[in-house]
Structure 1
Amino acid sequence: MRINSLLVRCGAEFEWLRHIQHSKLVTNMSSVGTLIFSRFASQFFFWTGFLLVACGFLFLRTWVSIPYLATGFLIGLALVSLVFACGLRFLLKCRLATGLAMCWIFALACFVGIAALISVLLIALAAMGIGSLVVSTTYKIPAPLTVLVGLAFIAGIAGWLLPFPIHTRATYILVLIGISLYRWPAIVATIRPLLRSWTGAVDGAPWMASVAVTTIGVVSTCAWIPTIHFDDLAYHLGLPYQLETLSYYRMDAGSQLWAVAPWAGDVIQGIAQLVAGAEARGAVDVLWLMLTTVMLWKLGEALELGPSSRWLIVALYASAPLTADTLTGMQTEGPTAAVVVALAWLIQRTTLPDRRCMLGAALLFGLLIGLKTSNFLAAGPLALWLLWRWRGHLPWRMAFTATLLALAVAGSSYSFGYLLTGNPVLPLFNGHFHSPYYLSVNFRDTTYQTGLHAYTLWDLIFHTSHFSEGFDGSIGFTPLALLGSMLIAITAPRARPLALVAIAAFVLPLVEIQYVRYTQPAIALLTPVMLCGAPPMVRKQRGATSVSVAFFLLILVNLAFVANGSWQLRDGVLADLLVHGRAFVISTYAPIRQLADIIRRNYGSSARTLLVDRRYPYAAELAGTAFVTSWYDNELVRLAWKANDDPQGEQWLRVFDRTGANLAIVHKDDHRPALDAALEKSHGVAISSVGDFELWTLHREHVGTAAPASPHVVIAKIDSLPLPTNTILLNATLELRCAVTGVPIVIGWYVVQEGDLPWANYESILCGPSGLADASLETSKPSKAIGLTITAVPSHSGDPHLSLVHATASARNDLMAERDLAAQWRGHFMDWIRR
């Protein structure tokens, strides 16, 4: 019985073992089948996307849109860099990619300036020091993420301090150097692994690394070009130049409708310009590009892609024409791409978040919203992904603190917008907020309203000019070429969440407005996702060579159209810069900038300039002393409406009086009888001309007369000053003739005010060797001046034989002071502090 039972038991065990082995065999066979099918599907969808691009390229004759001259010039620069890189490789025994990187960095320093690069480097070091206090050190946080977290903190703090006159060059240099020195050990610990990481990354895929570095270098040439972008000259340069000129930001929503729009990007630009002592736009743009590309590399690593695929991600993103466009101006898409990629890496990489990780994510979300209001459309999907991925491990005790931190970083522009204008997102949703600075309607750009369709992606690729100011192909061909690969990537668990987030970030902005530039940050997220579904580029693997060639051709085609994404490249601005220099580029493409430089040097703070031309409202550089008659100024555009219909010029004279303008910039094509009559009545004189623009001075001074006085004393009176309705800008000049040189003379200025005691000011001057002495007065005060009396008295006994040569005065409406919302709020705030 025992033997029988034992045999039965052994038989049962044998049958069970055989069943298990059979099951494993079936499972293995199923896995092999799945693997074969997945590889087939990957190849099929991959080549389908490239086939679609080829069909569209051939049948729509897309090659006609290639800017051959501009593209050839970029190819020439790439070849020159390759020659120098080969020499460096031979001399320094380094990789070709390293030599290429050194060449392009040297070129960048030559064209954007050493001061700008040092300024950006100092900001980056200070940001790294601050960021290392926040982010966790247990997850091998990359240096770019630390820098972005620090930049979020800097932009957030500076944003709240914008109304206060504390933004000086010395202040920022001392603060940034102090932070860098205090946090130097942490900065060194963060920087030390970079060289080793670079060497390892290049050694992992030397050929693809060289392609990626060359692509970045070619695109970085856009940063060499001076600032001549429309939006920069009309708006973005305003904050940096006001910080440089006034030490605070005026927040003048009356003169510039977007003055209180999210300003985090412009704050970083302003700090860099202050520290450098000159414009640093190109260096800041390159900083955002480098942060984006390195985080894309790290995101590819988190998605378990090989070194070749990671370099390919960098090359594909850099080759997109929209990426080149982010380097030509101060638009927010460049920094937005860096932040969304950093957030995606943080969420993808982290499964067990700690408190520091939570605070770092909060700072990045705050910076994302602080860059642009529409970034809510990207922040929403990212936030949902974060909550889903970190569910069950989220440090809820830090949730409230993290939320407050994000609001603090993002909230300055929204808070000041609400306090000063009544609309936190002016001019958006003004139909709800009814701010007086814009019409009581919801702002909506109707330029690009074509609607979404099933073939929208096709149109975006091949008919891009319908969705932007650029030309066809300016979005690049990557989204369509790798569309099939993205469909495969969605089936991969590791890439599916990021794919859904990237698709949402791509589609949501297009729902509101079909403007292709707004999709650029989403393309940065889509690129690594699409590579997750592409066939791997592994040596000795069947089909790997053809896949590599396809990717290389895709990069070349993108670069062939890269000039279509930027009118500066397409119009040959880069070639003009290299051949003729920076001054020629500005005089040719932005001549108003030269006139602005003349105004700053010759007229200073007393200048009030009216830009008559509605097509070129380039007033930002003049730091609040200039006014436009375009839709950016809701009051003046109505006042100047149909002003040319009045042949007597009276309506234009009202505009001159309202602005207090003593200067006017007029386009030669805008001379009309009405404007010419107003210029004549204002005793206007054309003093300079650059390109098609003329600079006019408007003389509306009142001449003083000598009044009887005791011996040795000169008195000049001006009794016919006008009565501006608000704050006045009073300018007066005095010139005396004296027989004895070197004699001190005390000048007294007495402003006669309606219904108030006279306002007095005194100064001492010397009679010069030429026998003449002159003095001037400039003051802005909320009063109604009706007259001015000037006295000149020798400071000691002796007769210098003083006589009046001439005295003039003008009392103009000071619209700049009237619209200075920051100064008004600052006054109320200080009164509240004192109380």
Structure 2
Amino acid sequence: MPARLRMYGPAILIGIGIASCISGLLWYRMWLALPWSRFSESLAVVLISLLLAAAMHRLRGWALAHALAAIACAALVFFAGMLPTIATLALAATAIAVGSLLIPQRDALDAVIALPVGLALIGGCLGWLMPLPLHHSGVYLVVAAVLCIWRAQELRTAGIALWYAWQDNVAAAPWHAAAAVLALGLATTGAWLPTMQSDDLGYHLGLPSQLLRDGFYAPDPAQQIWVLAPWLGDVVQGIAEVLAGHEARGAVDTLWMLSAAAALGSLTTTVRTDARIRWLVVALFASMPLLASLVAGMQTELPATALIAAMALVIMRMPGDRLTWCAAVLAGGLFALKFGQAVAALVLLIWALARVRDRVDAKRVAVAILLFLLIAGSSYFHAWRISGNPLLPLFNNVFQSPVMAPHQLDDVRWHAGFSPTLLWAITFDTKRYLEAEPGGYGFVLVAFVGVWLLALWRRETRSLSLAASAIILLPLLPMQYARYAFPGVALLLAPLVITGSTVLGVRRFAYVGFALCLLNFAFHANASWVLSTVARKRLLTNLGDTQLVLQRFAPERLLIAELHERDPTDSVVLALNPEAPYIAELAGRGRTVSWYSPTLEAARFDAETDASGRRWKNLIDATHARWLLLRPDLLSPAQRAALSLGGARQVITAGVAELWSWGDPALGRTALP
């Protein structure tokens, strides 16, 4: 290779990626898709945070990163709630205590690994006990207290190590640290919002709500086909919710995000010890628009990112018996989060085996397999026991559970085709690959494509880059749904920044990296409809009043909360509109005529053929419904006729949604404020 090409070739390759990103912005006229109102809100949040941090720096002498972290924590407590935050901190402490059983606490890296390992251990083991009436705050508090007291020395060592590592990394690169903490704080604004995303209201809130209300989980797949799907993420949410006494999603999501950020930063440190590079990786991770969307919901890709980053860190620190067992626990956690995460787990396990230099010990492998099955197996076992399909609702064409038709679920929206231009299309034509607007996936994949090629070439970053690339691309082969690739993109950031900093120098590449962070933040709101609305602005201007936000965007939640007060029994509630099947919080009382319940969906199709409404009346009677959730604008003529035939009566209204009684004229009408 000519000396001149060897000298300038890598920099030219990096420049090609940056030029490609700029070309895409111009070609697709991305300024027209930029959510200017939401971006201005984010800039206002940044400005206020910086002013407060500057005042704390001047008056108290705090480093900007310390002040910004304190402001972000205070905002989280105010908007997400004091009790949920305390409950999540208790969960985190217990997780580190449990995780320290597998990895002795010697330094900050051990604590970073212990947290996700402990969360996987707790969630995986507790999953087996879901049907038992053990899930009460008193029981959880006693168990957590015993574990934390037993492992008090390890917790103390972990806390001290984390504190000193935080201080050292901030002192080593104060401006980079401040930028990264500011980025993380802006990402946590999604955690301020109440839970409003469709999958969460229709499914994910079900397990935590039932644990809180009943103390056990009794899934009925005939009413909701996803209730037996891998549930580790919802179990962890449920633990915090039971401890807090109400929803703790925002605080738990923040914990997963911080765990992922710490693991990615620590992973970077294992390759390159420069604190500036570490903080730049964290800042780029925090700036990714899809992260803010995940922090605002309950999808599994957020905890999966934390587990994948921690497992990569474990692999980099191999060999060792306990590190091997940690890898088994984290791989089991990935299986327990979602069957689709098996791809990431298998890629990382293959990488781990490739790094093993000596002979594999049979006893060590046997213990690792047992740990894996313990963590991964609970939801699959209960799904097989209840429905006959351990993967319900997936692969029912193979297992043929009577709960639903014997066919494989598929979503035709996400089959745009796998091609060499896929990552370009995901970046600029995002609608075809995600429920998002253009730019809602961020611009890392295009802007750093040249760095990516160099990271795959360089020995220092090759193995990590190959693993991350496989975790990105393999899930996109059968279905081109961009959210599934997010954990791999997050993992890829470490080798990208290490490589780019090597080629251009840390300072020059930091300019590129932070410019990309700003571009990502500009398109934050395009990652999800929740972020694109005025929900955050309404929350800020009304001092955290979530009722005003819910009334506009998820009014069924207000109706359900009022119903719990009026009727705390097990009376059935039927959601009439398939477009709003938001019954998860009803904790087993809810029924829906949407695709979540194939039997009732088929009955709905049949009922719609009878304009008199009699078949709809018979359908409602057959569910033994006492209450009806509906949106008047979405009612069909047959449904309106059925309401009249059945003597239904409007009881409560909230925004565009209403709660009706079925066949009880004694109840009067109320409008929620």
Q: TM-score range by the shorter chain?
A: over 0.9
Deviation per residue, 1:580-621 (Å, 9 max, x gap): 321100111001111111211101114211111010100001
- The question of whether the paired residues in 2 share the 8 Å contact of 1:41 and 1:488 is answered with no
Give the secondary-structure state (helix, strand or coil) at the position aligned to 2:392: coil
2:349 equivalent in structure 1: 383
1:470 equivalent in structure 2: 436
- The question of whether the paired residues in 2 share the 8 Å contact of 1:208 and 1:308 is answered with yes
The structure 2 residue matched to 1:176, chosen from 141, 144, 147, is 144
* Correspondence list, 1:747-766, <5 A: none
1:577 aligns with 2:543: no
The structure 2 residue matched to 1:336, chosen from 294, 299, 304, is 304
The structure 2 residue matched to 1:413, chosen from 370, 379, 404, is 379
Deviation per residue, 1:266-291 (Å, 9 max, x gap): 00000100000110000000000100
1:81 equivalent in structure 2: 49
1:559 equivalent in structure 2: 521
- The question of whether the paired residues in 1 share the 8 Å contact of 2:388 and 2:399 is answered with yes
1:680 aligns with 2:644: yes
1:596 aligns with 2:560: yes
Per the TM alignment, residue 634 of structure 1 is displaced from its structure 2 partner at its CA by 1.4
1:450 equivalent in structure 2: 416
Distance 2:636 2:574 in 1: 16
Deviation per residue, 1:86-108 (Å, 9 max, x gap): 11112222211111111111111
Deviation per residue, 1:754-792 (Å, 9 max, x gap): xxxxxxxxxxxxxxxxxxxxxxxxxxxxxxxxxxxxxxx
2:600 equivalent in structure 1: 636
1:354 aligns with 2:320: yes
Distance 1:399 1:145 in 2: 20
- Paired AA for residue 575 in structure 2: L
Give the secondary-structure state (helix, strand or coil) at the position aligned to 1:686: strand
**Larger Rg computed on CA atoms:** 1
Give the secondary-structure state (helix, strand or coil) at the position aligned to 2:412: coil
Distance 1:112 1:60 in 2: 37
Q: CA 1:304–1:611 in 2, change beyond 3 Å: closer, same or farther?
A: same
2:276 equivalent in structure 1: 308
- The question of whether the paired residues in 2 share the 8 Å contact of 1:208 and 1:312 is answered with yes
Distance 2:101 2:9 in 1: 46
1:236 aligns with 2:204: yes
Distance 1:236 1:365 in 2: 22
Per the TM alignment, residue 683 of structure 1 is displaced from its structure 2 partner at its CA by 1.9
Greater relative contact order structure (CA < 8 Å, 6+ sep): 2
2:34 equivalent in structure 1: 66
Distance 1:42 1:99 in 2: 38
Distance 1:125 1:403 in 2: 26
2:84 equivalent in structure 1: 116
- The question of whether the paired residues in 2 share the 8 Å contact of 1:43 and 1:535 is answered with no
Give the secondary-structure state (helix, strand or coil) at the position aligned to 2:591: strand
2:671 equivalent in structure 1: none
Distance 1:241 1:567 in 2: 24
Q: 5+ residue gaps in structure 1? A: 1-29, 704-835
Per the TM alignment, residue 258 of structure 1 is displaced from its structure 2 partner at its CA by 0.5
- The question of whether the paired residues in 1 share the 8 Å contact of 2:280 and 2:510 is answered with no
Give the secondary-structure state (helix, strand or coil) at the position aligned to 2:221: coil
Per the TM alignment, residue 328 of structure 1 is displaced from its structure 2 partner at its CA by 0.7
1:620 aligns with 2:604: no
- Paired AA for residue 181 in structure 2: V
Distance 1:623 1:391 in 2: 50
Q: CA 1:94–1:606 in 2, change beyond 3 Å: closer, same or farther?
A: closer
1:262 aligns with 2:226: no
* Correspondence list, 1:358-757, <5 A: 358-392=324-358, 394-536=360-502, 546-580=508-542, 581-699=545-663
Deviation per residue, 1:56-103 (Å, 9 max, x gap): 111221121110010000111111110111111122222111111111
1:102 equivalent in structure 2: 70
2:669 equivalent in structure 1: none
Deviation per residue, 1:598-650 (Å, 9 max, x gap): 21110111421111101010000111111000111111111121313313322
Q: CA 1:496–1:537 in 2, change beyond 3 Å: closer, same or farther?
A: closer
Q: CA 1:677–1:376 in 2, change beyond 3 Å: closer, same or farther?
A: same
- The question of whether the paired residues in 2 share the 8 Å contact of 1:245 and 1:623 is answered with yes
- The question of whether the paired residues in 2 share the 8 Å contact of 1:135 and 1:141 is answered with no
Distance 2:555 2:13 in 1: 51
Give the secondary-structure state (helix, strand or coil) at the position aligned to 1:645: coil
Q: 5+ residue gaps in structure 2? A: 667-673
Per the TM alignment, residue 671 of structure 1 is displaced from its structure 2 partner at its CA by 3.7
Distance 2:226 2:637 in 1: 33
Distance 1:149 1:59 in 2: 45
Distance 1:589 1:401 in 2: 48
1:758 equivalent in structure 2: none
Distance 2:210 2:567 in 1: 16
Distance 1:452 1:145 in 2: 35
- The number of residue pairs the alignment matches comes to 664
The structure 2 residue matched to 1:159, chosen from 127, 130, 135, is 127
Distance 1:306 1:39 in 2: 23
Distance 2:538 2:255 in 1: 25
Deviation per residue, 1:556-584 (Å, 9 max, x gap): 10110111112222112100111132110
- Paired AA for residue 546 in structure 2: R
Give the secondary-structure state (helix, strand or coil) at the position aligned to 2:128: helix
Per the TM alignment, residue 305 of structure 1 is displaced from its structure 2 partner at its CA by 5.0
- The question of whether the paired residues in 2 share the 8 Å contact of 1:156 and 1:412 is answered with yes
Give the secondary-structure state (helix, strand or coil) at the position aligned to 1:604: coil
Per the TM alignment, residue 700 of structure 1 is displaced from its structure 2 partner at its CA by 6.6
* Correspondence list, 1:185-264, <5 A: 185-264=153-232
- The question of whether the paired residues in 1 share the 8 Å contact of 2:649 and 2:664 is answered with no
- The question of whether the paired residues in 1 share the 8 Å contact of 2:108 and 2:161 is answered with no
- The question of whether the paired residues in 1 share the 8 Å contact of 2:69 and 2:185 is answered with yes
685-694 or 278-287, larger mean C-alpha shift: 685-694
Q: CA 1:535–1:343 in 2, change beyond 3 Å: closer, same or farther?
A: same
- The question of whether the paired residues in 2 share the 8 Å contact of 1:343 and 1:364 is answered with yes
Distance 1:354 1:60 in 2: 51
Per the TM alignment, residue 533 of structure 1 is displaced from its structure 2 partner at its CA by 2.1
Give the secondary-structure state (helix, strand or coil) at the position aligned to 2:120: helix
- The question of whether the paired residues in 2 share the 8 Å contact of 1:88 and 1:94 is answered with yes
- Paired AA for residue 465 in structure 1: K
Q: Which has the higher helix share?
A: 2
Per the TM alignment, residue 662 of structure 1 is displaced from its structure 2 partner at its CA by 1.3
Q: CA 1:418–1:391 in 2, change beyond 3 Å: closer, same or farther?
A: farther
Deviation per residue, 1:493-527 (Å, 9 max, x gap): 22111111111110111111111111110011111
Deviation per residue, 1:346-373 (Å, 9 max, x gap): 11232xx222111111111111110000
Q: CA 1:393–1:290 in 2, change beyond 3 Å: closer, same or farther?
A: farther
- Paired AA for residue 62 in structure 1: M
Distance 2:509 2:376 in 1: 43
Q: CA 1:314–1:39 in 2, change beyond 3 Å: closer, same or farther?
A: farther
Per the TM alignment, residue 545 of structure 1 is displaced from its structure 2 partner at its CA by 5.2
- The question of whether the paired residues in 1 share the 8 Å contact of 2:109 and 2:266 is answered with no
* Correspondence list, 1:8-47, <5 A: 38-47=6-15
Distance 2:336 2:508 in 1: 44
TM-score (norm 1): 0.78
Q: CA 1:192–1:667 in 2, change beyond 3 Å: closer, same or farther?
A: same
Distance 1:209 1:317 in 2: 13
1:322 equivalent in structure 2: 290
Q: CA 1:624–1:547 in 2, change beyond 3 Å: closer, same or farther?
A: same
- Paired AA for residue 562 in structure 1: H
Distance 1:85 1:447 in 2: 45
Give the secondary-structure state (helix, strand or coil) at the position aligned to 1:134: coil
